[in-house]
Each structure stands twice: as C-alpha cells, then as structure tokens.
Structure 1
Amino acid sequence: MNSNSSTRRRRVPILALLAGGLTFVPVSAAPAQRENVWLCQVAPNPDMTYMLQPNSSFVTFGVPFRTNELGFRDGPIREKTPSTLRIMCVGDSVTFGTGVTNEQTFPNVLESRLQALASPGTVIDVINAGVSAYNARNIRGLMETHLPSLRPDVVVYTFVENDMDDSLSVGPGGWLITLDPTQPPDAPFMMDDFPGLWLIQRKRMDTSGFLSRIKGLFDTQFNEVCATPPPLLLGNHPETLRRWGMFAAELDRMKALCDQAGVPLLIYAFGLRGNAEPIVTRLKGLCDERGLPLATTLPIFEYSTYTDTHSLGYDSHCNPLGNELMADRLQSFLVEQGVLPGDFFARPIPVQPYDERFDPALSASLEAKALSAPSEIDITGGSGIIGVLAGIEANGMMARTGLVRLGGPGDTIQVEVSAPLSSPEAPQWLSAKIEGVAVEGTTEAVAGRGLCSFPIPDGLHQATVEVEFTAHGPARIPRPEDRVRGAATQTVQIHRIARIERAEGI
C-alpha cells in the first residue's frame, strides 16, 4: 500500500483512500490534521529508488513516528548475538503501518508477543523494514542492500497487489513524485487502482467544497470499482503478463538473495476474502513453482466487513485491531513453517487454525467481473472508466501513452481526440497497438476534435481487447517541482473511445 505520493496520498487525505491497491469506500473523512508528512532521499541502491530520511521525526495520518539510522520505521538496529532471533519484515505501507503508532504495527506486535514467550536472556528482534509506496523492485533492492549486515534468521515479505505498480521517486524537498526512474519521463505512471483514482480526481474537478466532495464522491460507478479486483492484474492481456512477469523475476531475485544468505523467505499476502481471491490464486501459482511458503490474510479479513471493523475508516490501511490480527496470523505461519527454534522460547507459541481455502467459483466470478470491460469509454461524460487502465487524466489529457480495455463485439476502435499542441511544423497524431500488435489507423487529430479509427485484428472481434495508444509529436513534460504538485505529462486530449462495427460511428 502506498501512503506518500504527493498526488495520491500525502497532501490530499481523501486520495489516500486508494492506498495499497485496495480501492476503498470510507466510512469517515480523514480529519485535516491527519496528514502524512514524511520526507525521502535517494537510496544508495538504485533499485530501492528512495528511502525515508534516517533519524528523523515524521507523522503518518497525524501519528508521530521516528526513523532509525537505516530510514526504517523502527528503533535503532541492535547488535545481533547468538541469543538473538531476528525476523526481518519487508513490504510497503501495510508493513510500515500507516496511521498507527510504532507499537501498533504488526511487526512490533509480533515482537512483543514472541518476546513475552522467550527464554531468559533471549532477544526477539522483529525489524520493521516496510517502506510506504515500495514496489517489488524497491523491496528486493532493500533486501539486497541490508540482508548482509542485518543477518536475519527469517525474512517475511508482505505482498500487496500494488507491489506491481511503477516506482515513485524523490522530487524537490524530499517529496515523492509519480515518476518511475526506469521509465521515460513522458510515460504514464502505471498503478493497479487507476480507475478509482480517476473517479476521485474527476469528482474533485466537478464539485467544490470538501464536504460536498465527500457527499457526492462515491456513486454507483465508484462502488463498482471498489468491489472489483484490479483489471490491470488479471487476464492474459499484454500489460498484465508484463506486470506479472516483472514481479516473478523480482520474486526469483528475492529467493536467490535469501538462499545465498541461508535464510528462509516466507510470503505473507494481504488481501480481503470476497475480493482478492483471483490475485491470491495467481500469486499462489508463482509461490508453488518456487517452493515458497505462502499465507494470506483471507482468513481474517472479509471485504464486506473490513472497512467498518479492521481499517482506519478514512483510509484502507489496518487499524490497531487489524494489525493485531495480522500479527497473530503471521505468528501461526512462522510456527507452521518451523522457523522459530524451540530453544529460544520458554513457553509454547500459540497457533490458531487459520483456513486458507476459498471457493474457486467465487474467484472465477470475481475475475470475470474484473475482465468485463465496457464497449465505450466516455471521458467527457465520465462513464466506462473501469476500462481506463493508465495514462489518461480526468480531463482527458493523455501521457505519451494511454492504456484501455474494451469489451466486444466490434471490429474497430474509434477515438474522438483533440491535439492542442499540434502545429503544421510539429503535428500530433495517434498510433495504436491492440493486444500488443501494431495496427494501421486513420488519424485526424486536430486542434478542434477529430476521429481516429483502428481496425481490430481478425480473431478478436468478439473478445475483450487491450489497446495501447501512443501520441506522437509535441508533449508537455512537467518539471520535478510541478510533479510535486501533481502535474503529469500531457500530449493529446481524449474525449471518447468506442468499439464499433465499421458501419457505425461514435
């Protein structure tokens, strides 16, 4: 889960509702004083990209916390002795503990519980190495940097579905910006919760006044997005396969690092029963292939009750009770895997009988719902937005590329578009790839409005298709200081995208 992107999480508390890939309908608004205020610096390992500034005091939703010498939200690193059992928890803001005190984060709850059962002279050291907004590459970079010196006895990676998002980077003043350093500066920022974020941004454009935004924000379309697993991570479309492929490669690297250090790696997946089953199914396949133990939070969190019972209420991160349950589930997982040597403990460690089984039919139904794309996306009218996966802002301005999915039937993709930066000397025009295949289209992108048409390849006329548009010609690429304020690359302006038969039109 992410917590400190200047455009998504930190300065606009309402946007924090989308933290962690869990698009979320709140039960209350975050009070204005509950801001996330923490600053970052460039990390020593480029794959980490950034780290929290070490030995500094910050707040997470108004809760004070302090970083240690490594920039972790934890106490100073203790010397490891033969009587120390060290567990290293890596992950994003679920591990970090957005919105709760240090003592209430699940790594620290786990440490307190195990220490109370430990033998005299034994030190149970659970290191909270979670960093808000980290993706899988960032997490692997952190492991690569710190495993040799920390020498843990076990590593627990808490997976969240937005670990496949692009990486944030450090902007002016230490604020994070939506710019992945591995991508071109005009590329869109890819994230699994994009449709929900789009709807929130659109509501902020269409309404005024904080209370009116809260009242009118969560309409039927937003509720539908909240209840649907992220389409970007499901199916066998090109970007989905690319995201999972990159994640699988990072998982291989994490395992190799732990194997080299002689340390077991355990995967602990955050998700809600009744929502996360399709993602968990895919993750389980990867873990089984690699012999990696997997436990999830499906036995403890239900989609229908999580917001009221286990979340912060104004944000999707766990409240203290949610963190308590996460610590208990992890404790049982560690015991089941035999990674807590008995000679470190004076008393038996309690183990709860958590049932990881779920209904395959429900998982298939949830995935089918996520893959049921609209046949038309009306950017101007704000409908069909669950089909927008990346690169098109709430005002229709597109980054260098934009990614959408459209359901069938139909043999043509037609786009209503304006080219505000076009000139005779430097024209703007669109090209498209449909399911990864470049197609030739007709283009009339002009300063007013024009139509672009792209034929859908044979064999796909009845199927849902993923379409990647590329804008050629001039672009406005924001400066880093503008990105801190939420600016993004702008090329053409998309008004409407529809799937039609050639004889039809928008």
Structure 2
Amino acid sequence: MKKLFQNGLLFFFSIAVAILLAEAVCRIIPLSNDSDPTYKLAHEVLPFVMKPNSESISIHGHVLKINSHGLRDFEYSYEKEKGVFRILVLGDSVTFAFGNDMEAGYSKVLERQLNEIVEKKYSKVEVINAAHNGYNTFDEYNYLRLYGLKYSPDLLVVGVTYADFTTQSMNIIIKDGVDSRPGSFWLNIPTWVKKTLRQSHLYIAIGWVRANRGFSIKDPTAHPVPSENNETLIKTKDNFDKITALASKEKIPLYFISIPGRGEVLLKSYLHPQFIQHLRTLENEGKGYFIDSLDGFTSHSDRLDDLYALKDSSHPSAEGHQILGNYLFKRISPIVSK
C-alpha cells in the first residue's frame, strides 16, 4: 500500500513537472497567437460590452486598457469640442488591434497622421476606435445606433474582414467578466480558474492548436464562393446596407476598408469576392466609399511574417496596421487639409 502511494505521488509529481516544463517552453518559444482577457459585461442587444475603466494584459504582454465609455482607446467625451473633426471607427478584433499595443492600431496611426498635417481646416482630429473583439457587421450597426452616434462623428470608417461573412453574433454567457459558450463545462467551473488559465501560455497554445486543427485558408477550394442566393451572403449584405442607411440618414460620410487575412494575401484574392463586390456597388451608387488594401499587403507578400501578428493568420502586426493607416490617410486627408 505504501509503495502504491509512493508511485502515485511520483506519477503526479512527474505530471506536474512535465506541465511546468511545457509552460516554460511555451513562454520561451511562443506557440500561439495572442489572447484577450478583457473583462466583459452582458448586454441586452450587443453580444457584450467591455467593462469601463478596466485593464488587463494579454498573454503576449499587450495592455488592454478600457476607457470610461468601454472602448480600447484614449478618453473621449461624447460631447465634441468646437473645431474638432471626429472620425468613428467600427470593426472586429482586427480593428480592435488584437495582438498589438493600442497605439499601433490603424485608427491611432490615422489619428497621428491627420494631426501632423500642418495646414488643416480643424484644430484637432480625433479618431475613436469603437471596435470590439468578436463583433460582426450586425453588432457594429447596433453599436453605431446605440452608442456611436453619441460621439457626433463627422466621418465613419468600418473595417471589414473575412470573419464578417457570418449571420450570427457571438453566442456567449458571461460570468464575472469571463465569457463561455452555452453548454460549456466552464460554466460549472469557478471563473477564477479560467482567469488563471488565461495567463498560461500552454493553455492558450493548446486552444490555438485545437482551433486551427485542419484549417487551411491557403486552399481556395476549401472556401467555395457562395451563390447569390446564399443566406449568409444575403444577410451580410443587409447588414452593410443597414450601416449605410443609418450613415446616410445622419449625413455622415462612410468609408469601408477591406482588411485581408494572410491566406488572402497568398491567394491575391478575397475568400468572398461577392462580399467585397457589394461594397464596390455601394460606392458606385454613391452610398459610401470603398478602400481596397489588398495590394498594399500583396506587394510585401515575401514578408508576411512581418505584416501579421505572432502566430496569427488574421490580425496584422504594427507594420500591417501602418499599411491600413496609410490607405485611410490617402483617402481622408484631403477632407481635413485646407
């Protein structure tokens, strides 16, 4: 019995050592993309909102500081000061600057560039990043009508990625700031356990491997182009139209910017071309403006690892965000300049 007890202790000790070694290896050699431990709050319309005045640190060391209005940005009041030109940016995790410091995101790149214009019509330009990690175009429309218009924006930018090609918002249950899928066993586990695991590089790496198992965005045959009668395509177009209609009603110039994933850069084409074509159609109809940034990434396709965040096929790095900021600056700067 004593020997069995000793063997059991040795077994569990060995497992503990193996886990600690694996954790150490994952910290030395990152095996996954970044994390988002932002404290979330439930909302009756939106999938979630971020807790105002909260702060957390991602697995790769990026600070996620949320302002008093629940945005990952500097502090901006709803009331716009006289002489200020204000731009509101909507989007998902890419626009949120996932995997980057906040100031590396393209909204902040654009803000800096516009304010560096010596001869401009306005005393200051504010670019407010209202992106949320996991939002789709329907969520962005709802955020705009519920909160975005309170900022009295003079111009609206919507960042578009292939992840927006969906009909459903995130379906999550939030407990003590932590989100879980309905039916998940995590709902029966104390939230402090999941919060602790979110700081584990090994845990994040295992989740990343599971999520990307068998996924090949490089293979275009794995992502067939949907027909015009495809339900997802129809609903996604409808979401764009809702944003366009609201911007038109409020007389706010609207700019859509496409943000390609790593696989789309390799393919030199978008996974959902009809999705993009609809945005071009909106521009042709005078309902908005479309900025296609794909060429800006394909021209540097030999340096993809520099353009995308660590171990990430969707989220641009600081250099990738610089490309996006440059595209926006080129189109918007004439509006600001004298």
Tell me the TM-score normalised to structure 2 length: 0.72
What is the aligned partner in structure 2 of residue 167 from structure 1?
Answer: 169
| CA deviation map 1:302-349 (0-9, x unaligned) | 3954541211222232211111111111111324xx5x2333xxxxxx
What is the aligned partner in structure 2 of residue 62 from structure 1?
Answer: 61
2:281 pairs with 1:289: yes
Residue type at the aligned position of 1:39: Y
What is the aligned partner in structure 2 of residue 29 from structure 1?
Answer: 31
2:294 pairs with 1:298: yes
- Aligned counterpart in structure 1 of residue 329 of structure 2, from 328, 331, 344: 331
Deviation at 1:36?
2.8
- Aligned counterpart in structure 2 of residue 270 of structure 1, from 252, 259, 282: 259
Change in Cα spacing, 1:306 to 1:28, as seen in structure 2 (3 Å) is: farther
Q: Which has the higher contact order (CA 8 A, sep 6+)?
A: 2
Residue type at the aligned position of 1:243: T
What is the aligned partner in structure 1 of residue 307 from structure 2?
Answer: 310
Larger Rg: 1
Question: Within 5 Å, which residues of 2 pair with 1:11-410?
Answer: 29-30=31-32, 35-43=35-43, 46=45, 48-60=46-58, 61-78=60-77, 79-119=79-119, 122-165=123-166, 166-168=168-170, 169-178=172-181, 222=214, 225-229=216-220, 231=222, 234-236=225-227, 241-271=230-260, 272-275=264-267, 277-279=269-271, 281-290=273-282, 291=285, 292-302=288-298, 304-305=301-302, 307-316=304-313, 317-335=315-333, 340-343=335-338
Deviation at 1:273?
3.0
CA contact (8 A) 1:56 1:66 kept: yes
After TM superposition, which residue ranges in structure 1, 4 or more long, deviate above 6 angstroms? none
Give, in whole Å, the separation in 2 of the partners of 1:87 and 1:306.
Answer: 31
CA contact (8 A) 1:95 1:128 kept: yes
Q: CA RMSD in A?
A: 3.1
Deviation at 1:96?
0.6
Change in Cα spacing, 1:35 to 1:96, as seen in structure 2 (3 Å) is: closer
Change in Cα spacing, 1:230 to 1:109, as seen in structure 2 (3 Å) is: farther
CA contact (8 A) 2:88 2:156 kept: yes
Residue type at the aligned position of 2:31: A
| CA deviation map 1:452-487 (0-9, x unaligned) | xxxxxxxxxxxxxxxxxxxxxxxxxxxxxxxxxxxx
Residue type at the aligned position of 1:172: K
Deviation at 1:300?
1.6
Residue type at the aligned position of 1:260: K
Greater per-residue strand proportion: 1
Greater per-residue helix proportion: 2
CA contact (8 A) 1:268 1:295 kept: yes
Deviation at 1:296?
2.1
Give, in whole Å, the separation in 1 of the partners of 2:270 and 2:92.
Answer: 21
Residue type at the aligned position of 1:341: V
Tell me the TM-score normalised to structure 1 length: 0.49
Give, in whole Å, the separation in 2 of the partners of 1:250 and 1:159.
Answer: 12
Deviation at 1:232?
5.7
Deviation at 1:58?
1.7
| CA deviation map 1:12-58 (0-9, x unaligned) | xxxxxxxxxxxxxxx95249xx64311211235x1x22111111112
CA contact (8 A) 1:118 1:124 kept: no
* Structure 1 residue matching 2:95: 3-state secondary structure: helix
Change in Cα spacing, 1:237 to 1:332, as seen in structure 2 (3 Å) is: closer
The gaps in structure 2 that reach 5 residues or longer are 1-28, 185-201
